[in-house]
Structure 1
Amino acid sequence: MRTLAEINEKIIDKKAVVWTVEELKKRVQDIGVDQAFKTVDVICTGTFEPMESSGAIFNLGHTDPPIKIRQCWLDGVPAYAGFGAVDLYLGATAMVDYKAIGEMNDSENRPGNVNIERGGGHVIEDLIAGKPISLKAIGQVTDCYPRASFETNITRKTINQFYLYNPRNLYQNFIVGVNSSDRFLYTYLGPLQPTLGNAVYSNPGAIAPLFNDPDLELIGIGSRIFLGGGVGYVAWEGTQHFPLQKRLSNRTPIGPAATLALIGDAKTMSPKWVRGCYFNHYGPSLMLGVGIPFPVLDRKVIEHCAVADKDVVAPVIDFSIPRRVRPTFGLVSYAQLKTGRMTIEGKSVRVAPLASIALSRKVAEELKSWIEKGEFTLTDPVAPLPKDRAFMAQDLWGSQMTLE
């Protein structure tokens, strides 16, 4: 047994032994679990993938005369202004509001100079990169906020707070999308070709952070993490957090399970690890790099982190059925997915990842370097994440709802 205080002392003294989770998996095969436990102090995991339930909170600072913003656009992308007078929230999937930024182009029904593939994630990336962003605001005139409107350019240096607050990141597992219909489908996994022409999976597999802490024993509220190239923290359970998902004997879930809500100072982040993206005929999103370090407190940490792609699975979901619960073609291992081919009902289907496996590795490696340099210590959670959340569907209530 080790304590977190002992591990942090070694980190500060630059004596900690730090491995990425891929290094751990390979070395366990050579030296075994017991020797790995005696050797390593911290295991670093990482992922780089689309995380559309993300966004940024801004405080602009007060104007003179003051304004109480009720509507606001950043480079034509609407931000939510239902907080304080100059507090805003910009969602990663918010889309350009054409009517708010100029006359419509009759031939295409949109302004000719507007990039239709630009959204909230791109604005967040540009602000992190230090680029200027146009701001247009409309205020509610009151005695204490007499200004009716305001237009300017902002950068990350000209606003007060600028931090990511992401309600749902880091799915512990996700799905594989396919399409058995006779037409293209454009989804949050990207285009799915007809008649099982391709398959797309999102999670990077056994290197993904939460696959390596299946019962959420190491990660919790207050855990310090790598977020977008800066330091972040686990703020709460993520939305749609579903730890009661069915699991294999190694405790890994067979489908979407635990999620995390994350927070971090965007002024310290890098556009290398926070990138706006666009899914054709679906909309904008955000590619985000997240890394989680696990302290090696006991032998069980090694056992969990040694899980291999052949030992974790995902459900193959048919998107051609437009329902919340879609038919499946069973489960497939991530080892099979990473070969680039899988077989569905006797047909060989091409497979591609939505997450960048290469950049997921780079996240873990960068976090490892921070720890080895003594620049990043680990934190004990201030509270555990819940392990008993059920997953409720909205249409179960409807007319059944009664007043108590």
Structure 2
Amino acid sequence: MLRTVAEINEKIQQQKAVVLTVEELKARVQEVGVTQTTQEVDVITTGTFEPMESTGAIFNLGHTDPPIKIRQCWLEGVPAYAGLGAVDLYLGATVMAEYGGLGDAEESRLNTVLPERGGGHVIEDLIAGKPVQLRALGQVTDCYPRPSFETTITRDTINQFYLFNPRNLYQNFIVGVNGGDRTLYTYLGPLYPRLGNAVYSNPGAISPLFNDPQLEIIGIGTKIFLGGGIGYITWEGTQHFPLQKRLPNETPIGPAATLAVIGDAKQMTPQWVRGCYFKNYGASIMLGVGVPLPVLNEQVVAHAAIQDQDIVAPVVDFSIPRRVRPTFGLVSYAHLKSGQIKIDGQMVRTAPLASIRLSRQVALELKQWISLGQFTLTEPVAPIPGDRTFLPQDRWGSQRASE
């Protein structure tokens, strides 16, 4: 081992640590090689800014007088899950507004301003300090006699307000195309007929998990940049599939590892947490996430030196409405970022769903925090499991149908 996290943190606190963004690291390796770069650099910062559907916020409102046991609740007309404690709520980013949860005047205003409104927009508003209308219905009991409650809340008038995201940071994902004869509206946005476009969501070689392919540095307890504040990796993410097939450089050829993360939303900024809407599909949220990689040895640098031409994603045809869709093979991120790829002899325009520019800015902002001694590193308390399989549900449905 070249250095330890404790030694790196000591340098960070003294503002003596050498920190490079992952793009700077890749360029440095090209110039002087892995060994010299390892000797020079203490921390590598990675980042992404992309839609992350499995995101949500937990709130504690504080008790009313008389108390209420909330069992139905709407924030700006968006339903929040109330099956927790009496005044604890969970708001998912993809939940769409039900304007019956608002008064007539507020419903009219929101329909005028933004008809396609979901949980991600409400989370963004609260992070920005904006007021949010709350309407709640309660289960009347002896200790919670209040049947309903209406108020306006902000991030400063509630207790806990934090993001808890069951699945962020896909290690890799797919490229969506449409071989059919009509436009398809998907979680990648519109896919135009007859291979009219190709959309990819991962920012490629700057994305966090591509640069630690076997999750040897990243683990449970790793401190991260989350939405402009500080967050932590809490567990494997849902649909975590580390057993995905991999190239010789250990990077996966399709969707693989994912992470669950948490962070205090009161520290976050709307620059890095933005509600969004996909036409004819639904609401989501754009989230900036950055992960620091401590340079403990040469292997860390060697993994982080991968380039876009070294990693691939599968091209998937969404015109086939099945769980397992046909593919047109694998394509490198270098080709994807060139603006066009060739499919069956046809040149197809490409576009990223992630913002490459803002992904770079996440890595740069995290670099600045570390360089100024404002962000130290943590060692994982446990590894992310590397043996998870992916279980589909169709086989159980088929079995029940035949009985």
TM-score (norm: length of structure 1): 0.96
Structure 1 residues 321 and 399: alpha-carbon distance in aligned structure 2, compared to 1, 3 A threshold: closer
Aligned residue in 2 for 1:373: 372
Distance 1:62 1:97 in 2: 25
For 1:2-401, what aligned pairs fall within 5 Å after superposition?
Answer: 2-101=3-102, 113=112, 115-398=114-397, 400=399
Deviations 1:104-133 (A, max 9, x none): 9xxxxx995473211000000000000000
Distance 2:151 2:317 in 1: 47
Q: Contact conserved, 1:102 with 1:111, CA < 8 A, in 2?
A: no
- Measured after TM superposition, the shift of residue 323 of structure 1 is 0.5
Distance 1:119 1:183 in 2: 27
Distance 1:344 1:98 in 2: 44
Distance 2:172 2:111 in 1: 41
Q: Contact conserved, 1:313 with 1:333, CA < 8 A, in 2?
A: yes
Structure 1 residues 114 and 136: alpha-carbon distance in aligned structure 2, compared to 1, 3 A threshold: farther
Q: Contact conserved, 1:103 with 1:111, CA < 8 A, in 2?
A: no
What is the one-letter code of the residue matched to 2:230? V
What is the one-letter code of the residue matched to 2:317? D
Give the secondary structure class of the aligned counterpart of 2:167. strand
Deviations 1:300-329 (A, max 9, x none): 001000000000000000000000000000
- Measured after TM superposition, the shift of residue 379 of structure 1 is 0.3
Q: Contact conserved, 1:46 with 1:291, CA < 8 A, in 2?
A: yes
Aligned residue in 2 for 1:107: none
Distance 1:48 1:279 in 2: 16
Deviations 1:176-209 (A, max 9, x none): 0000001000000000000000000000001100
Structure 1 residues 114 and 396: alpha-carbon distance in aligned structure 2, compared to 1, 3 A threshold: farther
- Measured after TM superposition, the shift of residue 40 of structure 1 is 0.2
- Measured after TM superposition, the shift of residue 100 of structure 1 is 3.0
Q: How many residues align?
A: 396
Distance 1:78 1:161 in 2: 19
What is the one-letter code of the residue matched to 1:194? P
Deviations 1:340-386 (A, max 9, x none): 00000000000000000000000000000000000100000011000
Mean Cα displacement is larger for which, 95-104 or 137-146?
95-104
Q: Contact conserved, 2:277 with 2:284, CA < 8 A, in 1?
A: yes
Deviations 1:124-143 (A, max 9, x none): 00000000000000000000
What is the one-letter code of the residue matched to 2:178? N
Task: Flag structure 1 segments of 5+ consecutive residues without an equivalent.
Answer: 105-109
Deviations 1:32-83 (A, max 9, x none): 1111001000000000000010000000000000000000000000000000
What is the one-letter code of the residue matched to 1:373? L
Distance 2:205 2:154 in 1: 38
Give the secondary structure class of the aligned counterpart of 1:27. helix
What is the one-letter code of the residue matched to 1:319? F
- Measured after TM superposition, the shift of residue 400 of structure 1 is 4.4
Give the secondary structure class of the aligned counterpart of 1:281. coil
- Measured after TM superposition, the shift of residue 232 of structure 1 is 0.1
Q: Contact conserved, 1:277 with 1:287, CA < 8 A, in 2?
A: yes
Deviations 1:211-233 (A, max 9, x none): 00000000000100000000000
Deviations 1:242-279 (A, max 9, x none): 00000000000000000000000000000000000010
- Measured after TM superposition, the shift of residue 397 of structure 1 is 2.0
Distance 1:346 1:188 in 2: 26
RMSD: 1.4
- Measured after TM superposition, the shift of residue 103 of structure 1 is 6.7
Give the secondary structure class of the aligned counterpart of 2:382. coil
What is the one-letter code of the residue matched to 2:232? Y
- Measured after TM superposition, the shift of residue 399 of structure 1 is 6.1
Mean Cα displacement is larger for which, 390-399 or 62-71?
390-399
Q: Contact conserved, 1:175 with 1:201, CA < 8 A, in 2?
A: yes
Distance 1:67 1:399 in 2: 44
What is the one-letter code of the residue matched to 2:210? F
Give the secondary structure class of the aligned counterpart of 2:233. strand
What is the one-letter code of the residue matched to 1:68? K
TM-score (norm: length of structure 2): 0.96
Q: Contact conserved, 2:77 with 2:100, CA < 8 A, in 1?
A: no
Q: Contact conserved, 2:214 with 2:250, CA < 8 A, in 1?
A: yes
Report % sequence identity. Answer: 75
Distance 2:113 2:20 in 1: 46
What is the one-letter code of the residue matched to 1:64? D
